[in-house]
Structure 1
Amino acid sequence: MILKGFKEKSIEKHLNKLLSERQVNVTDKQIESLGVILNIDEIDDFELFRKFANFLKIRDNKLKIIAFSKNDKGMLTSWDVCFNPKDFGWNGAIKNAELQLFLETKYDALISYYEEDVLELKLITAMSKAQFKIGIVQDDERINDLIIKTKLKDFDLFKEETIKYLTILNKIKNEQ
């Protein structure tokens, strides 16, 4: 248990270092690729995000959804990429090759859709090379570029507000 605490502290320290060095560079480049990070323990309807990506005119091959669970069993086999706390080493080292590939992909936008304050989820969001990060209200506001103040279960409001702000920022064209 003591080692687990030290490991968490080393990950927290790495997270704070990443967030303090982060350069926010918001451009008006159109969103053509999208990464999504979910906490499967909170929400397991990934089809919402596929429909949202279709609405944004993002092709299926430019969309990647990954899930996190504190457990390492259960319904996790139905996901493309699912990770858990065992996929993280000291100082935020990633032990999962698929997760590492997700982090190295330069998505035009990343949606971090989770409310629970989970260190690994915040680390993945911070480590992502996505150009523009979108999330719901969390304790640490340094993680995302666009923060939508909504509840996790109110996806329609999240979608509506995200579209509104992406249109204002010229990241999508409003063709309605």
Structure 2
Amino acid sequence: MILKGFKEKSIKKCLNKLLSERHVNVSDSKIESLGIILNIDEVDDFELFRKFADYLKVHPNKIKIVAFSENRKDDLNSWDLCFNPKDFGWNGIIKNSELQTFLDTRFDALISYYEKEVIEIKLMTAFSKAKFKIGILQTDERLNDLILKTNVKQFDLFKDEVFKYLTILNKIKK
């Protein structure tokens, strides 16, 4: 139990370092690839995100969805990838090569769709090399470039607001 607390503290330290070194570079490049991080304990309908990507005119082969669960679930065969706290080591080290590949991918946009304050999901968002990060309001506003004040149950509102702001920022292909 004590070691778990120390591990969490080391991950928080890594997260704060990543966020303090983050440079926001917003350009008007169009969104052609999309990464999505979500908490499966809060949202379990990934088809919503596939339809959302289609709404943003992102091709299905340019979408990658990863899910996080605080509990290990082996029956998640419909997800692209599903991770849990055991995939993270001390000091924010990623122990899973598939997760590391996702985080190293330079998506045009990353959607972080979760409300619950889970340090591992925040770390995934911070580690992502995506050019533009979109998320729901968190206590730490350094995580995302575009922050929408909705909750996970208001997906239609989130979708409409993201579309509206991406249109204003000239990031959607016509």
TM range (shorter): over 0.9
Q: Deviations over 1:14-68 (max 9, x none)?
A: 0000000000000000000000001000000100000011111111111000000
Deviation of 1:77 (Å)? 3.0
User: How many Å separate the matches in 1 of 2:163 and 2:49?
Assistant: 13
Partner of 1:78: 78
Deviation of 1:11 (Å)? 0.3
Partner of 1:149: 149
1:29 match: secondary structure: coil
Partner of 2:113: 113
Asked whether the 8 Å contact 2:57–2:172 carries over to 1, the reply is no
2:76 match: secondary structure: helix
1:67 match: secondary structure: strand
Give runs of aligned pairs for residues 1-150 of structure 1, distance below 5 A.
Answer: 1-150=1-150
- Structure 1 consecutive aligned stretches of length 4 or more whose deviation exceeds 6 Å: none
TM-score (norm 2): 0.98
User: How many Å separate the matches in 1 of 2:2 and 2:99?
Assistant: 27
Aligned alpha-carbon RMSD (Å): 0.9
TM-score (norm 1): 0.96
User: How many Å separate the matches in 1 of 2:85 and 2:76?
Assistant: 14
Q: Which amino acid aligns with 1:153?
A: K
Moved more, 38-47 or 55-64: 55-64
1:78 match: secondary structure: coil
User: How many Å separate the matches in 2 of 1:33 and 1:166?
Assistant: 14
Gaps of 5+ in 1: none
2:58 match: secondary structure: coil
Deviation of 1:4 (Å)? 0.7
User: How many Å separate the matches in 1 of 2:19 and 2:52?
Assistant: 28
1:38 match: secondary structure: strand
User: How many Å separate the matches in 2 of 1:88 and 1:21?
Assistant: 21
Q: Which amino acid aligns with 2:101?
A: L
Gaps of 5+ in 2: none
Deviation of 1:74 (Å)? 4.9
- How many corresponding residue pairs? 174
User: How many Å separate the matches in 1 of 2:134 and 2:113?
Assistant: 8
